[in-house]
Amino acid sequence: MRCRSRAARLLANALDAAAGPDWNADTGFAVRLQDVPLTNRRPDVIVYRAETIDLTPTRREHVLLVVEVMSPGSETTDRIVKVDQYAKAGIPFYWRIEQAATGVPIVYTYVLGPATKAYRDGDMFTGTVKATAPFSNTVGLGVL
C-alpha cells in the first residue's frame, strides 16, 4: 500500500464511527499481550474498550480487534508470529490487510475459537468490507 500509516488511520476512523460508544478505534500504541515474559505488540489499528482510554499500557483483555496492514518484509511476522501471539492473548478478532498484485487491498478476517485459542478463518473482502463482526461496518477499500 502506498502509505501504511494512512491506511491504518483511515480504517481506524471508519471502525471508530461504526463501533458505537463502548469501543474506540485508534492507531499508534502498544498492547500488552503478557507480563512474563514481557510481550508488547503495536498493531496498526486497535479497537478497545472506551472506558480504558486512559489506562497504560492497554491490556489484552480490553482489546476487541487488532488489524495489521502488511508491508513488504512483514509477511511472516503478520501471517504467523503476530496472529499466534494475538490468539494466545485471547483477542477475539484479527484482521490482516494485504495488497493484491492488482493493487486492490484485500482484508482477511479471523475469529478466535475460545476453546482452542486459535483463529479460524472469517470473511475475506476485496473492494469493500461489509463485516458483521465484531460489529456491523462497511468500509470502502478504495480509500485505503
* Domain CATH number, residue 28: 3.90.1570.10
Question: Quick one: average pLDDT of 48-72?
Answer: 94
**Cβ atoms of 39 and 17 closer than 8 Å:** no
- The CB density around residue 39, as the number of other CB atoms within 10 Å, is 15
Out of 65-69, 84-88, 124-128, which region has the weakest mean confidence (pLDDT)? 124-128
> Confidence class of residue 129 from pLDDT cuts 50, 70 and 90?
confident
DSSP letters, 1-52, are ---HHHHHHHHHHHHHHHH-TTEEEE-S--EEEETTTTEEE--SEEEEEGGG
What secondary structure letter does DSSP report for 61?
G
The pLDDT assigned to 3 comes to 59
The pLDDT assigned to 109 comes to 95
The pLDDT assigned to 124 comes to 95
Evaluate if residue 144 carries a pLDDT over 60. Answer: no
> Confidence class of residue 143 from pLDDT cuts 50, 70 and 90?
low
Percent of the chain topping pLDDT 70: 96
Place of cell 478478532: 93
**Cβ atoms of 111 and 93 closer than 8 Å:** yes
What does the block give as the cell for 62? Answer: 480490553
The pLDDT assigned to 1 comes to 45
Strand partners, 111: 93, 120
1-42 pLDDT tens trace: 455 677 788 889 999 999 999 999 999 899 999 999 999 999
Tell me the C-alpha distance between 92 and 113, whole Å.
8
What is the residue range of 87's domain? Answer: 4-143
Question: Peptide bond before 21: cis, by omega within 30 degrees of 0?
Answer: no
In one letter, which amino acid is 78? D
Q: How many domains does the chain have?
A: 1
The pLDDT assigned to 121 comes to 95
